[in-house]
Amino acid sequence: MPTTWIVLSVLAALWCGAAAAGVFGYVRFRRMGPTFRAKVRFPDEQRWDGGHGWPRRRGRAVWVHDVLLVRQGLTLPRTAALAPRAADSPVRTSTRQELTRLGAHPAVFALLLDDGRAVEVASRERDLQVLAGPFVTAAIAAVPPRSKRIR
């Protein structure tokens, strides 16, 4: 009986330590710059489940100079560095049916990476300026025009 409690206590301490380290890493990532919630997919590559759709979970992303860092996971964090060569097309808006958990009108940005692969990054519409990063001209087409005020 005491052995069971010792084993459970050690496992609980390890889990709490991993969770604390994950939260600490998450906070440090958020302080790197203006981060945004993001989903990333490679449209030319087939997913492990056979689909080409967007992942279910979202992560956080930040532009560091010309590199997009995408971090997913809390207790087992994974960070991917995406080095884009050019914007593939202007930022487009999507629907809630295509992209879940990113608001009513998510923004989708297609990029060409240095290794030749295509990648799409999606975020909330209000994070459009941060999503575009160094490719500001690609976001101009997605900005809704302001209504003219009548004085």
Instruction: Output the domain CATH number for residue 132.
Output: 2.30.29.30
Helices (H) and strands (E) counted in the chain, each on its own, are 3, 8
Task: Give the model confidence (pLDDT) of 45-61 as tens digits.
Answer: 877 666 668 988 999 99
Residue 150 belongs to some domain of the structure: no
Q: Does residue 145 register a pLDDT over 80?
A: no
Q: Please count the structural domains in the chain.
A: 1
Q: Distance between CA 20 and CA 14 in Å, rounded?
A: 10
Cβ proximity of 124 and 107 under 8 Å: yes
Q: Which of 45-54, 97-106, 127-136 has the lowest mean pLDDT?
A: 45-54
Residue 149 belongs to some domain of the structure: no
Q: Distance between CA 46 and CA 43 in Å, rounded?
A: 7
Please state, as a whole number, how many other Cβ atoms lie within 10 Å of the Cβ of residue 45. Answer: 10
Q: Which domain holds residue 121?
A: 2-142
Question: In DSSP terms, which residues pair with 36 in a beta bridge?
Answer: 61
116 DSSP assignment: S
Query: Above pLDDT 70, what percent of the chain?
Result: 89
> What proportions of the chain, in percent to the nearest 5, are helix, strand and coil?
30, 30, 45
Residue 148 belongs to some domain of the structure: no
pTM value is: 0.82
Task: Give the model confidence (pLDDT) of 71-87 as tens digits.
Answer: 998 878 899 999 999 99
Supply 143's token pair: 């900005």
